[in-house]
Structures are given as C-alpha cells and as structure tokens.
C-alpha cells in the first residue's frame, strides 16, 4: 500500500497493510450500509478499525479518512494500536494478541457503547408494545450494531455492539439490556433490570461484567412506506447535538444518530 499523504501517514497505512495480512479474505458480520458508513462523524477505535478493514483495495486515502472521522479518544487509541502493530510487524491475530494486548485492550475498552440512561429505582413497570412491533429488529454501520427485541408480553431487549472483525481476530464490546419496554408514539423506554457488558479482545475468552439497572429512552419513528423498517435515534449520539433537536432531514441527529433497523 502506498503511503497516504494526510494526517495519518505511515501508521494507519501500516495498520491497513497488517489488517489485510491477517487473512486473504476479510469478513464482517455487521452488514453495514455504505451510505450510512459514509455519514458516521465520530467513530470509536473499533469503528475506525472496521472502517479501515472495509476500505476498498487500492484506496490509499481511505485509512486517513477513517482516522479523521474518529472521536479524539478513538484517534488516540487507534494511533497507539497502529504504532504497536507497525513496530511489531504483526500480520497474524496471535501476534496482535500477544504483542499488542495493551493498546488493543484500550481500543476495545474505549469503544464501549455509551448510555445516557438513568439509574432504575424500584421495580420496572409493566411493558406495553404494539402488536406490529413484536419481533427482532436490527441495523448496523461501521461495525456498530443495534438490535431491539420486543415480546408480546411487554418485555424486551436492547443489544448495542461495537465490533471489529478480520478473519481470526474478532474484537467487540457489547451491552445487552433486558427488561420491560413501554412504547409510545415517539418514544420508547426500556426499564432494564438486567444490564451485562461483554468484551472480547481478538481471541477468546470473553469477559462479562454486570452493570447497574437503568432506564433508557430512545426516539423512534416508522418508515413512511415500509412496515418492516423503523428509525431509532441513539440518545447518546443525540446528546452531542443539544441545539439540533428538530426533525429536519439534514440535521446532525438524523444524519449521524439515527439507525435504520429492519425486521429480522
């Protein structure tokens, strides 16, 4: 790979080359929509990695672009990780795990899904879910996946996963919230009595951490013509745009914070 000329020369170019060397054929479970990938403005470290993995062959500027779209923490962590891979000459998952465990752990740790929920006090109220929403819905971009599961009895789950996968090396951080859903016209509230974060750094084992119960709020709307598509706003992302809470299509919240989830 030729060295890009932007802010991220050498290190991200070396990282892209190393990731390509992990396997002849990369793979991703995210099924990301390229249009949504292009819109993501603030990528975590793992999302930057997945963005680089998904760069077209021969596009030497693409790793630069992935780095530029990272959050400050994501940029710092990816450069640390890229420097390690470059210095160690890693082209295999075992090398990444053994020689760059510390920067990889920092990358995974800083990529944990962010919650803007409130502590859940007392017991959760009964759930209420419209019949036509019952089932599993999911959407993904840049290695970040949101999955909502609604049950007829009002219980449900919200899975948030940020992952990077290149053949034998799969790193992810996932938060699974389970409880009761109260779905209203424009807002759905999950009273999560069980919250578990699972982390994997390249190779097993995975580590589970039980987190406090929480109350989470999500804005949502239906697709105008497709009953199998919903739009769900990530409140953690929306909180970064407090001055743009309106509904215009070009507003940052709609461009950057809305997931298109489809019935599975």
Give tens-digit pLDDT for 46-58.
Answer: 988 888 888 888 7
Residue 95 CB coordination number (10 Å): 17
Q: What angle do CA 44, 49, 54 make, to 5 degrees?
A: 120
Q: Which region, left, alpha or beta, applies to residue 102 given φ > 0 means left and ψ of -120 to 50 means alpha? A: alpha
Residue 218 DSSP one-character state:
E
Give dist(CA 172, CA 206) in Å, integer. 9
pLDDT 10s digits, 176-223: 999 999 999 989 999 999 999 999 998 889 999 999 999 999 989 999
pTM of the model: 0.78
Give dist(CA 226, CA 87) in Å, integer. 50
Q: What is the mean pLDDT of the chain?
A: 82
62 vs 4, higher pLDDT = 62
Alpha helix (H) residue ranges in the chain: 11-22, 34-39, 45-53, 62-68, 72-88, 93-99, 101-110, 235-238, 252-256
Q: Where are the domains of the chain?
A: 11-110, 118-263
């Amino acid at each position: 790979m030729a060295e890009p000329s932007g802010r991220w020369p050498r290190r991200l170019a070396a990282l892209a080359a190393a990731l390509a060397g992990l396997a002849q054929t990369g793979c991703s479970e995210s099924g990301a929509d390229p249009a949504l990938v292009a819109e993501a403005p603030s990528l975590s470290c793992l999302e930057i990695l997945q963005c680089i993995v998904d760069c077209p062959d021969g596009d030497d500027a693409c790793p630069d672009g992935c780095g530029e779209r990272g959050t400050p923490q994501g940029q710092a962590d990816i450069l640390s990780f890229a420097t390690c891979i470059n210095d160690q000459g890693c082209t295999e998952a075992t090398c990444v795990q053994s020689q760059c465990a510390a920067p990889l752990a920092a990358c995974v740790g800083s990529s944990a899904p962010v919650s803007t929920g409130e502590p859940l006090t007392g017991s959760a109220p009964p759930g209420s879910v419209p019949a036509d929403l019952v089932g599993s819905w999911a959407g993904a971009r840049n290695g970040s996946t949101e999955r909502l599961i609604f049950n007829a009895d009002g219980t449900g789950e919200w899975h948030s996963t940020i992952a990077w996968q290149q053949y034998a090396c799969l790193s992810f951080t996932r938060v699974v919230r389970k409880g009761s859903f109260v779905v209203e016209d424009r807002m759905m509230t999950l009273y999560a009595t069980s919250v578990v974060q699972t982390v994997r750094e390249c190779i097993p084992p995975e580590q589970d951490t039980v987190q406090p119960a929480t109350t989470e709020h999500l804005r949502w709307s239906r697709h105008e013509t497709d009953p199998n598509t919903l739009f769900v706003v990530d409140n953690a992302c929306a909180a970064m745009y407090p001055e743009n809470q309106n509904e215009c299509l070009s507003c940052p919240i709609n461009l950057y914070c809305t997931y298109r989830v489809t019935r599975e």
